[in-house]
A and B are shown apart, each in its own frame.
Chain A
Amino acid sequence: MTITETSKIGIAILSLYGTLDALSAPELRNNRSIIDPEKTVVIDLQQVDFIDSSGIGAIVSASRQKRQPSGGIVLACMNDRVRKVFEITNAQKLFHIFDDTTAAVDFASSRQSASA
């Protein structure tokens, strides 16, 4: 898996590419923006071509590291394969999920401002 990190109005955007499974999950767990409890992160899942329950676990674990569990990780651009696994595990109920990164960043920014 490859992780590309950009930033917009103070929000980190992690774009994931490839496979998010037990082998690659530590890359996400150890990402600097993920482990910073104060940092709000948008995860762009559009280019994730495979995710399993270990990958879901890594994203849930990331949210638990945040000071604001419900707002610290915001998800964007789920494709059908990713959405299916989120639905089976019911993990979608833990996150705010947006169809595009712009809406996700706007939401994350508003949450970050509200908690400042």
Chain B
Amino acid sequence: MSSIITLTLPGEIMFARLASQTASSLADLVIGENREESAKRKFCHAFELAVSEAVTNSVTHAEEFDAPQMLTVTFEFEPRQLTVSVRDANPPFSIDKSAPDIESYPVHGFGLKIIREIMDQFTYRRDGDANIITMSKSL
């Protein structure tokens, strides 16, 4: 059995932090008390970082619109896995799997690289007019 929590947020950068801190808190809740402290910290940090990257990307792309777009962050708890989905109404974007260059300017393209590195699974799909990024990690 799974449980689902959904946040609906304005596409403004301050809410990226709210989403990432919520992700960390929920990860801490899910992983429980019996894990080693270092494993707990690593798990919570992974979700905080992945959600920060995904929501910041959404908000940054939403700035192309005149009015801030709403976005939805959904957390799904399963017995041994936590999954986060970020859904926005931005135009589609390409998933470039090549490594971005840190020496390029301005620095961009690292959000997805970080997510791929720290999460067990990452998918991007287009659903009608929406982008959906889904990220999960096992407990």
Residues of A within 8 A of B (CB): 19, 21-23, 50, 52-54, 56-57, 60-61, 64, 81, 84-85, 88-91, 93-94
**Of A19, A50, A81, A89, the contact of B110 (CB 8 Å cutoff):** A89
CB-CB < 8 A to B108: which residues of A?
Answer: 57
- A88 and B17 within 8 A (CB): no
Mostly, the A contact residues are helix
A50 to B47, CA, bound (A): 12
- B120 at interface by CB-CB < 8 Å: no
- Per DSSP, chain B at the interface is helix
Interchain nearest-CB distance for B64 vs A (Å): 16
Question: Can you add 19 more A-B contacts, CB < 8 Å, to A50-B48, A85-B49, A88-B114?
Answer: A22-B59, A22-B60, A50-B20, A50-B45, A52-B20, A52-B49, A52-B56, A53-B107, A56-B110, A57-B107, A57-B108, A61-B105, A61-B106, A64-B105, A84-B45, A89-B113, A90-B102, A91-B102, A94-B103
Q: Is the CB of A52 within 8 A of B105?
A: no
- Asked whether, in the complex, the Cβ of B17 is within 8 Å of the Cβ of A23, the reply is yes
Distance (Å) between the CB of A113 and the closest chain B CB? 27
**Pairs across A and B, CB under 8 Å, 25 listed:** A21-B52, A22-B56, A22-B59, A23-B13, A23-B14, A23-B16, A50-B48, A52-B53, A53-B107, A53-B111, A53-B114, A56-B107, A57-B106, A57-B108, A57-B110, A60-B107, A61-B105, A61-B106, A64-B105, A88-B110, A88-B117, A88-B118, A89-B110, A89-B113, A90-B99
Cβ-defined contact, A89 with B114, below 8 A: yes
Q: Are the C-beta atoms of A60 and B114 separated by less than 8 Å?
A: no
Q: How far is the CB of A73 from chain B (nearest CB, A)?
A: 14
Size class of the contact patch on chain B: 20 to 34
Give every chain B residue within 8 A of A88 (Cβ-Cβ): 110, 113-114, 117-118
Q: How far apart are B102's CB and chain A's nearest CB, in angstroms?
A: 5
Q: Per a CB cutoff under 8 Å, which of A19, A85, A89, A90 touches B17? A: A19
Closest to B105 in A: A64
